[in-house]
Every structure is written in C-alpha cells, then in structure tokens.
Amino acid sequence: MTLYEPAYIKTYNSGLLNQKIEKANEALHNCKLCPRECGVDRHISKKGVCRTGFRARVVTYLPHFGEELSLRGTKGSGTIFFAFCSLLCNFCRNYHITHETAGKEVSDNELAEMMIFLQNQGCHNINFVTPSHVVPQILAALKIAIAKGLKIPLVYDTSSYDSIAALKLLEDVVDIYMPDFKFWNPETAKLTCNAENYPEVARKTIIEMHRQVGDLVINEAGLAERGLLIRHLVLPKGLADTAIIMKFIANEISPQSYVDIMPQYTPCGESFKIPGLAVPIQKKEFKAAIKDAEEAGITRLEEQKADFLL
C-alpha cells in the first residue's frame, strides 16, 4: 500500500502555507470568514455570532469511533471539537457545545499539540468539528504541527455555512471535506438557524469543496484519503427536502458523490418549540430518504443501521 501524503505537506514546503496564514490572520481584523459577516475585530477579542475572539476554543479532543467507517477505521478519527458555531441550529445534538459556554481557549501551540497527540494515538486523520469560525487558528496551528511531524489527512467537518473566501484559504490544505447539507428550503433555514441564505450558501460551498478535492477516494485498507463526503440528516415531516437535495448532489456535484444519510435526528436544544421538529423521525421516513437518494442516482451511500427507529 502506497503511503498517502496529505496536501498540506506540499503547501507547507512551498511556502504557500505562510501566505495563507498571513491572509487569514489579517481577515480577523474585520471578520467576514463566515456568511454572517459580523465585521468585528477579533484581534482585540471582539466577538460576533460565533462568540470566538482571537483564540480558538476547544471542548475536547479524542479518537472518535462514531464517525463514518472510512474515517474511524480501527484506531478512530482524531477529532477536535471546537466550541461555538456560526450557524447555531436550534436542534443541534451538541447544543451544549455550540450554544453554551464550554471548553477553553487554546494557543496555536496547544492546538498543534492536540493534533500530534491524536496522531501518536494511531488515529487515521485529524478531524476538525465545527471549524468554520476558526480557520485562521487552524492554519496557524497546522504550521507548528507539521514541523513536529504531522502527516495524516485533515478532515473539515462543517455545516456548509462557510464563506468561499475561507474555503480558498483551505485549498491544498484540507484533504477531506465533510459538509452537511441540512435543508433546501430558505424558510426552514430561517426557522431553525435564523439563516435564510443557508441553502444558497451550502450549494455554493459544496460545489467549491468538490472542485478542490473531488469525489471521495478510499484506499485498499478502507480508509478515506481525499475527497468529499456529504452528510445529510433526515428531519421529520420531510423538513429537509431530501429528494431535492439528492438530485442536486447527483446532477450538480457528482453522481459518484459519497453520501451519508443519517437517521439520528431526535429533538434537542430548542427544537421542541417547532411542531415539526418536536418528534423523532420514523423508520419509514429514513427508508424514504434512502429511496430518494437511490432514485436520484446516488450509489455511494454509507451503510446505516436504523433498528432503533419506530
């Protein structure tokens, strides 16, 4: 088996990573790194929607065995959970992490040490969870981690509420993009996230991610090395518009897209305030979502067990 070299190694050796770090650092003075475009100066710890100033805030880091099979393998995905979020879905399963104060601020060196620790634990990749608001901090820490010997793929696990400018900074840095495509209807996005533009943003960002890394490549050991892995959480009462999203993925991204249709939805956070979201999904709704994907022409689906559903 040929050892895969992550994209960021070449970027680091060419000096391009330094340029990306400088540009990202400058962007923090008038932060528009996500579609909220708050415009605050995070260098002096002014905080916008994401409530994050100059330093990233980390809740926990660990080998994670609940991710997709090609990410978790046998040793786990080296997951770093960042606090807060710029999208703030009211049904978030990690509500205490994204909406409430958790974790602690870390320096670039501390974040780099987390990456090295996870690599030393045997993790197959470094998986940044909810990273959209801390792209500059990730890039700065990555430079330190590379000098310390980091050499495993990077996973960018995002809501898809990213700016194209931020994604350009990650080109030839991130190996595996793992975006959610949550819902198609702007009214649903406004109701759940106060982000009416989410569907439009998600379409553009996922197209850009695919342009950068292409379809998901899984090696002979069954591990993801590079590419796009799209997640889609099935919502009750058809609120996610799964059929439309699957057609978009097949027709506008790639019919070879790797898609994980997830049955895990259960009311969390403030979802009880919305009648349609106040109940778990049913098995028939999950099966219908799988059928929607197959009818759209999606053939690379993560196998999911939904025996726990009614």
Asked if 302 contacts 66 with a C-beta cutoff of 8 angstroms, the reply is: no
Q: Which long-range contacts (CB under 8 A, 24 or more apart) does 5-11 make?
A: 5/151, 6/151, 6/152, 6/153, 6/154, 6/175, 7/172, 7/173, 7/174, 7/175, 7/226, 8/142, 8/146, 8/154, 8/172, 8/173, 8/174, 8/175, 9/146, 9/151, 10/172, 11/172, 11/173
Give the per-residue pLDDT at 2. Answer: 61
Give the per-residue pLDDT at 271. Answer: 87
Residues 80, 84: Cα–Cα separation, whole Å = 13
The tens digit of pLDDT for each residue in 94-111 reads: 888 888 888 999 999 999
Give the per-residue pLDDT at 3. Answer: 78
Asked if 240 contacts 264 with a C-beta cutoff of 8 angstroms, the reply is: no
Counting as low any pLDDT under 50, the low residues of the chain are none
Helix, strand, or coil here: 197? coil
Give the per-residue pLDDT at 308. Answer: 67
Give the per-residue pLDDT at 8. Answer: 98
pTM above 0.95, yes or no: yes
The tens digit of pLDDT for each residue in 187-231 reads: 999 999 999 999 999 999 999 999 999 999 999 999 999 999 999
Residues 201, 150: Cα–Cα separation, whole Å = 32
| Class of the CATH-defined domain 7-301 | alpha beta
| Cβ neighbours of 200 (radius 10 Å) | 12
| Cβ neighbours of 108 (radius 10 Å) | 20
